[in-house]
Amino acid sequence: MSLITILLVEDSATNRYFIEQFILELGYGCAIAKNGREAVDYCRGKRPDLILMDVVMPELNGLEATAELRKMFGEHWVPIIFLTSLNELESVVVGLKAGGDDYLTKPISFDLLSAKIHVFLRIAEMQNQINQDAVRLEKYFRENEFEQQLALELIERLIRQQTTTPQHVWQYLSPAAGFNGDLIIVCDNGRGGEHIMLADCTGHGLTAAISALPAIDSFYEMTQAGCALPDIARGVNRKLHQLLPWGRFVAAVFIALDPAGQSIRIWNGGIPCVLLLDPAGELKASSKSAHPPLGILPDGDFDESTQVLEWLPGERLVASSDGITEAKDDKGVMFGLAGVLAGVRDGWPGQVGDAVLASARRHMQDGPASDDISLLVVSHPQEKR
């Protein structure tokens, strides 16, 4: 550990001698400057831990030297204590405004000098620690920003590679944080139909987005392999149960559109809004969450049963995560399924998704969303959007 150095700036040889001896007795190093110019020159090459600055000196007085030193030190704080006589106190006020931190009147009380030295050195040490912590925090922040940007790009590329967006599918995703814990995946099942997954992972941000990766891979690979929807639901659940830490899970709805466009098969585990609207925009059927979210149950307890709904031209399937249904106004009232249905009616038939989003934003008074948002609107494939 380096010796603490105090710079004594004093033009009186007698004062210099006694103050220097006292500083040395305290166990500190003492550098000497006979005027403000020597003090500035010294500080260009070395940085003391504390400065005792006389006010009235030749060449460059203490007030002028202090102003120069503060510019030189920049954001690095070095405490400066003025040494002054009683008739110079008016000048000290100017000096304190110019960057001085405290003052002592002559003749110097060495007990008071000792106390002030200890106090200011302790403050300087804490300030130095704060500065070091700020540098480390800034470094961590920049590295974290870079790593999160890289992770975000990788996740987005993975989703883009493993999903298609048919003409009859409209989707919207918006994260509450930098990463979206909600996702929508649409895959051609190889037989003229599609498999769709809307998922809502526990939490927000990067941890939620990472939880989605095994679900994306399993859903895509099993669809490409020609697996039926119940088997896909079981397979994704098995993978998530194996990989996710305790307390992490993924609410999801799996939707299979048959090639003939006559029915929809649905497995719903934790998604609050899955609605089928008739050609007039009225509620025809809903798929309530009949299963726990994915990743909670072991394979032996998993229920792969699905619901089958008739699917006719002119009808729309609307699904959303709780980022929509649980959006609150300033009184804490949730948007709910009633809000979704009202938005559907406002936008029926061609602007359903945009109208639901606009209605939800009005409900929140255009405030920020507290959760990730995902919204899916599927038209009958025989229709042209």
Q: Do domains 5-133 and 162-379 have the same CATH topology?
A: no
Average pLDDT, the chain: 88
Show me where the domains of the chain are located.
5-133, 162-379
Residue 385: predicted pLDDT = 45
13-25 and 110-161 helices, crossing angle to 10°: 60
Closest listed residue to residue 306, CA positions, set 228, 251, 226: 228
pLDDT at 164 > cutoff 80: no
Per residue in 166-181, pLDDT tens?
Answer: 889 999 988 766 666 7
- In CATH, what is the architecture of 162-379? 4-Layer Sandwich (3.60)
**Does residue 318 carry a pLDDT above 80?**
yes
Quickly state the pLDDT bin for 154 (edges 50, 70, 90): low
With a cut of 60, say whether residue 384 has pLDDT above it. no
The least confident of 48-62, 71-85, 129-143, 273-287 is 129-143
pLDDT recorded at residue 298: 95
| Position 163 pLDDT exceeds 70 | no
- 5-133: what fold? Rossmann fold (3.40.50)
pTM above 0.75, yes or no: no
Check whether 38 has a pLDDT greater than 90: yes
Across the range 367-384, mean pLDDT stands at 83
